[in-house]
């Protein structure tokens, strides 16, 4: 019964948000509450929610202060040189833009934190996508998939969890997986190239107005127009404004792909005036904006490097590090109280949206674990594995990691399910190391799970509906995960 209710609850949630019948926050709260009553455990709903909130509160705190910290760093111009270099590479070619998105997301993912990756990537690429009329779901899909592959770094989380759960060394798990993960990253770049070609066919090769380079965008939440994301844009073609932020704005969708439409789209952009480029639809950062702090550039760079180093070395809990970093960054860069209040207010919308989403997700995860649904679902899936597949438990683990890490938190999968799979594999002579490595292949898909708080940072800053992001990204992320699994089998790693 609980198994059926668990799968039904997840399916109901995904269908409603993808059909846009409910907002993610409402769905994350109301659907699990309803299914908790169906399970006959409505009297315990409060305990389940409080337990879920307690587990996710550190994540919410980390995201809140990380948004403030990186928002301030973007405001003061820390990332402007990097962004200018990427934009010079991308120019106005959709292929270069999409591939540049994948490369940037992969590089920034080296810090091991998804929310940081998405904040920097969207801040850099959002104005270019808006200026050229490119599909924003392409940006979110490519960024999430690239980050998912890189999330397997030992300090990213999943590898450390697998090592802890099975009492193995993280290096023994990760290092042999590098060739397979490299194949996964190459798949992401190939995907980005293919999507860029589709966007080029849809829009043609475009030119920025007056040959000007777009400036890096502020954190979208700092700008209500950017948060809205789908508002009219004077710099995008009319046909794209009608579809932007929806799944049909993806490559090959309802936008006309004939050469005539591509020509008209290009001419629409080329004829846009410099004034319209700064209108409500396109919010770029002025290179002469008053928040820039060029004299403090090296201080901010050193502070960021120190913060990321301390995070990787786990000197302090990540929420504490970002709390201290945000406070120090605000105090040094904006010593006057009104300026500090203005910076906090500028990023308050995104902080509220993301924190609200995390606490709403706490209801979902709290009910899933508290009622026992997640345990029954995992036991059912493991029990459904045929006895003859025992010697191939590494392959089975890799395949199961796709749906399980999507529908469950990483903690639930690695500490609840992985030991059971490892025990079943050991009975057939399969090494726990092979099981642990196979468990990592689903991370490309996991990063677009509704249970991952960082994905709400991504879609919120890009102004993309979560349902549209899910519908577009899941198939590509799943293919990337399968490519990693196939490479691991081919190389004899798994």
Each residue's pLDDT tens digit, 347-387 = 888 788 778 877 888 888 888 888 988 778 777 877 777 77
pLDDT (tens digit, 9 = 90+) per residue, 8-48? 888 888 788 778 788 878 888 999 999 999 988 888 999 99
Residue scoring higher pLDDT (416 or 141): 141
pLDDT bracket for residue 207 (50, 70, 90): low
Sign of CA pseudo-dihedral 230, 235, 236, 238: positive
Identify whether the C-beta of residue 483 lies closer than 8 Å to the C-beta of residue 183: yes
Residue with the larger pLDDT of the pair 12 and 186: 186
Mean pLDDT of the chain: 79
Distance CA 334, CA 110 (A): 29
Q: Assign 81 a pLDDT band (cuts: 50, 70, 90).
A: confident
CB 193 within 8 A of CB 95: yes
Residue 130 near residue 281 (C-beta atoms within 8 A)? yes
Structure tokens that stand for 201 in this block: 């066919």
Q: What is the DSSP string of 334-403?
A: --SHHHHHHHHHHTHHHHHHHHHHHHHHHHHHHHHHHTTHHHHHHHHHHHTS-GGGGGGHHHHHHHHHHH
Rounded to two decimals, what is the model's pTM?
Answer: 0.69
**What share of the chain has pLDDT > 90, as a percent?**
30
């Amino acid at each position: 019964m609980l198994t059926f209710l668990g799968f039904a609850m997840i399916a109901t949630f995904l269908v409603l948000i993808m059909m846009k019948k409910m907002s993610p926050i409402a769905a994350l709260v109301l659907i699990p509450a309803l299914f908790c009553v169906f399970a006959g455990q409505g009297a315990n709903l409060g305990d389940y929610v409080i337990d879920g909130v307690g587990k996710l509160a550190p994540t919410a705190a980390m995201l809140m202060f990380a948004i403030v910290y990186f928002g301030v760093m973007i405001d003061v111009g820390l990332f402007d040189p990097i962004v200018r270099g990427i934009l010079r590479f991308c120019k106005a070619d959709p292929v270069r833009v999409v591939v540049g998105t994948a490369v940037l997301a992969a590089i920034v993912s080296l810090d091991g934190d998804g929310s940081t990756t998405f904040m920097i990537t969207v801040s850099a690429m959002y104005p270019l996508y808006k200026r050229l009329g490119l599909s924003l779901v392409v940006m979110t899909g490519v960024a999430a998939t690239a980050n998912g592959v890189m999330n397997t770094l030992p300090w990213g989380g999943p590898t450390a969890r697998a090592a802890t759960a099975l009492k193995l060394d993280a290096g023994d798990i990760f290092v042999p997986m590098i060739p397979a993960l490299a194949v996964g990253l190459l798949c992401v770049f190939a995907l980005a190239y293919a999507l860029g070609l589709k966007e080029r066919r849809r829009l043609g090769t475009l030119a920025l107005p007056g040959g000007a380079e777009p400036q890096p965008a502020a954190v979208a939440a700092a700008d209500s127009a950017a948060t809205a994301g789908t508002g009219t844009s004077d710099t995008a073609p009319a046909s794209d404004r009608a579809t932007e932020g929806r799944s049909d704005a993806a490559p090959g969708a309802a936008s006309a792909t004939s050469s005539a439409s591509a020509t008209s789209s290009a001419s629409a952009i080329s004829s846009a005036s410099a004034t319209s480029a700064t209108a409500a639809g396109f919010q770029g950062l002025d290179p002469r904006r008053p928040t820039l702090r060029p004299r403090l550039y090296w201080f901010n760079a050193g502070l960021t490097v120190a913060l990321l180093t301390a995070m990787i070395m786990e000197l302090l809990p990540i929420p504490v590090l970002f709390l201290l970093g945000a406070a120090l960054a605000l105090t040094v860069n904006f010593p006057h109280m009104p300026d500090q209040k203005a910076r906090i207010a500028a990023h308050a919308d995104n902080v509220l949206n993301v924190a609200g989403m995390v606490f709403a997700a706490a209801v979902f995860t709290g009910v899933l674990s508290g009622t026992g649904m997640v345990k029954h679902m995992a036991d059912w899936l493991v029990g459904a594995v045929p006895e003859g597949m025992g010697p191939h438990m590494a392959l089975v683990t890799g395949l199961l990691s796709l749906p399980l890490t999507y529908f469950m938190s990483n903690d639930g999968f690695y500490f609840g399910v992985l030991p059971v799979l490892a025990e079943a594999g050991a009975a057939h002579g399969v090494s726990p190391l092979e099981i642990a490595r196979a468990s990592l292949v689903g991370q490309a898909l996991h990063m677009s799970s509704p249970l991952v708080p960082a994905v709400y940072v991504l879609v919120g800053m890009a102004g993309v509906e979560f349902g549209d992001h899910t519908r577009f990204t899941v198939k590509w992320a799943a293919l990337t995960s399968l490519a990693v699994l196939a490479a691991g089998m081919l190389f004899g790693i798994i």
